[in-house]
Structure 1
């Protein structure tokens, strides 16, 4: 078996929330342990560097997954060397945080601590040298390559930023163009109307939130996955405001963007159904549960609680969701009667 040390860099089209990064640490640390992968993933603003060690075929497959993620652009492999011994005992993550609880988490490395001493291996190891370079380089210098990001992706990220600032009712093509550093004509060449832009933004934004948490469905089940999503959505309420604002155009047969909104909604419902089907096969849910009906019920609960939370904030949305989901599961143990 050939061991390799691979270093890749990338730029994120959007930024993880702190809660999303904590969840990423838990999920990816467990998965990489199963795969025999060690190393570190460091994120600073929208900039990413990863040092990945392990069996060559496994490491290369994992980096292909990184490159296939639509949230990553300009993925580049800068080192791919065979090694005899690993430099890392396990897999860890590093990002900027002021939260002492996060800093104490297993697998978190406080790489960006200004008091951190230089890595003594930086002069002997290419991967250590690159990680040290990443740590010491200001993020705005690392971010210059994002100007090469495809225009469509720049527009979508600018749209997310504008929606976070002012919400869907005050967003405009002009504001998005200014945020992206583009002209309005450049924006409208990709998205002729604001509703079409908002529909595409919703699909992109959901992908950024959902994709990092998707492995939870396979390892822990659908309800655990949706619980993690409840937490992630609560961290970024602007996303839920966009979802609520999309209801009217989605239901309007005369709105050109309506079908795009519906496609996004149906795709998410289908992913819940597919996850429930796997739960039944794995024995996590009873075979008396109809995955199609179960998906409808969970999505109604998932959406309903989050919409209520916009008007009447719930201090622990995740616990509320789990309590209600447990009651649904009790009913799933009984055969459906039409």
Structure 2
């Protein structure tokens, strides 16, 4: 099956408490699940970076909802491409606190696919590799205990 992936960054319109973020995630997970969409949301208290994947129509409906939300501004699509394999199929919507340096690096990374590495099923772009590495815990461990602690997975 062909899937669609979309990554974007945005700036919250106001600081979000843990309760605010929890409520956002609850609503997002319910809607995303109804659309067959999975992914991960990173938040560093100053910006969001979200990666979505799923059926093209579902990703589009989630994007339409996200882009109309008053919770954030300055939305920038970083990457939108068809994909063959979902990277976060088991995450309805994972959420991780991330250091600002990681979100800045992800926002600036190359998102285009440079070269296929199909037999190892690794992400195909530097940004996806970095996102997957962080989500798996490798990057969080390298940054120290307090950096990138999982919120609600």
Tell me if both proteins adopt one fold, taking TM over 0.5 as the criterion: yes
Structure with the higher fraction of residues in helix conformation: 1
Residues 130 and 68 of structure 1: CA distance in aligned 2, closer, same or farther (over 3 Å): farther
TM-score by length of structure 1 reads 0.30
Aligned partner of residue 16 in structure 1, secondary structure? coil
1:3 maps to 2:3: yes
Structure 2 segments unaligned to the other structure (5+ residues) = 100-120, 141-153
Superposition map of 1:236-247 within 5 A: none
Which of the pair has the greater relative contact order for Cα pairs under 8 Å at 6+ separation? 2
In 1, the alpha carbon distance for the partners of 2:47 and 2:25 equals 17
TM-score by length of structure 2 reads 0.61
Aligned partner of residue 91 in structure 1, secondary structure? coil
Give the superposition deviation at 1:90. Answer: 2.3
In 2, the alpha carbon distance for the partners of 1:46 and 1:122 equals 29
How many pairs does the alignment contain? Answer: 113
Residues 84 and 58 of structure 1: CA distance in aligned 2, closer, same or farther (over 3 Å): same
| Aligned structure 1 segments of 4 or more residues deviating by more than 6 angstroms | none
Residues 49 and 90 of structure 1: CA distance in aligned 2, closer, same or farther (over 3 Å): same
1:60 maps to 2:60: yes
Structure with the higher fraction of residues in strand conformation: 2
In 1, the alpha carbon distance for the partners of 2:71 and 2:32 equals 20
Aligned partner of residue 66 in structure 1, secondary structure? helix
Aligned partner of residue 53 in structure 2, secondary structure? strand
The structure having more radius of gyration, on CA atoms, is 1
Superposition map of 1:189-338 within 5 A: none
Aligned partner of residue 86 in structure 2, secondary structure? coil
Task: Name 1:87's counterpart in structure 2.
Answer: 87
Structure 1 segments unaligned to the other structure (5+ residues) = 97-110, 113-120, 137-338
Residues 84 and 91 of structure 1: CA distance in aligned 2, closer, same or farther (over 3 Å): same
Residues 126 and 32 of structure 1: CA distance in aligned 2, closer, same or farther (over 3 Å): farther
Give the superposition deviation at 1:69. Answer: 1.7
